[in-house]
Structure 1
Amino acid sequence: MVPGWAGVCGVSEGHVDCGHQEQQEQQEQQQEQEQEQQQEQQQQQEQQQQQEQEQEQQQEQEQQQEQEQEQEQQQEQQQEQEQEQQQEQQQEQEQQQEQEQEQEQQQEQEQQQQQEQEQQQEQEQEQEQEQEQQQEQEQQQQQEQEQQQEQEQEQEQEQEQQQEQEQEQEQGSCSKGLKP
């Protein structure tokens, strides 16, 4: 060590070598700066990568949201279609029920009409039978009247014959001179 230079310059093999020490310090500083720059660059790269990843994640999330929205829309459309189909089916069922009811009513009406016709036919038959019975009764009455008339005529004839016989007897007795 040379007096006056202690702590200022480095001593190498008994020689004072200040320039080499400064150059070494500059190199070390430069290396540190380069390291810092590299670190900063690495940090920037990492930040960029992280940002890119975040952007990708965000895009994926957005795509997923869009897909979910599309799925929801599809589900809603499907539900609407199902509801429409159900409504149509209900309407068809109601119409079919109405038609069946109308058919039943029509059948009932036809049955009633048929029953009424049958009743009417029965009434007509009864009336015909009554008329026939009445005709038979009238015929019987007529026959009885005819028989009665015949009997009366026979009685009249018998009476006339009897009267004639009596007259003949009276005349016969008178001609013989007998008094009545």
Structure 2
Amino acid sequence: MTDEGGSVLLLYLETHTPLASSLLALIAPAVAAVAPPSVTALLSPEAQPDRIVAGLREGLGVKEVKLDPRLEGALLKASEDPAPGAVARAARAVGLSPARLRVLAQAQMQAPLSQWLLWRKLQRAGHEMASGAGLVEAAIAGGFADQAHLNRVTKRMFGVTPLQASSVVRSADNRFVQ
């Protein structure tokens, strides 16, 4: 994130990707730090997000790793299912037990499956807010128990409330890109 009196670029990377691992290794053992010049040189608030990610991959020499096809299938199924029990249904759909799916996800994504599913809920809610939905509608679309649940999770994950986030993503000068 940089701010030079103009645009601010927030780029959230999936924790399970090799790119995220490479970027975290640059600041280890800290969990947050100012990006080194080699990284900031690759960032531009005016660039398209996919070009920024491609530039970071190339600049850091990161190769993408394919996930186990069963895990990919389960992630797709679970991401489309915000209801409780999504992990068990996704596991059954790909022929795994829920416990085995969780182990496979942890091994290949270096993050718990529950965190990945929480991120998907936040994405769904964010898209709803960016489309003009109210916070109650966004919470329902995301699969949260209620607006208060969305509020707590958003505050914990991003440091801002959904109301603060919604005013930013609805601004004409800002983009919400997946």
More helix per residue: 1 or 2?
A: 1
Q: TM-score range by the shorter chain?
A: under 0.3
Which protein is bigger by CA-based radius of gyration?
A: 1
TM-score (norm 1): 0.14
Larger RCO (CA under 8 A, 6+ residues apart): 2
TM-score (norm 2): 0.14
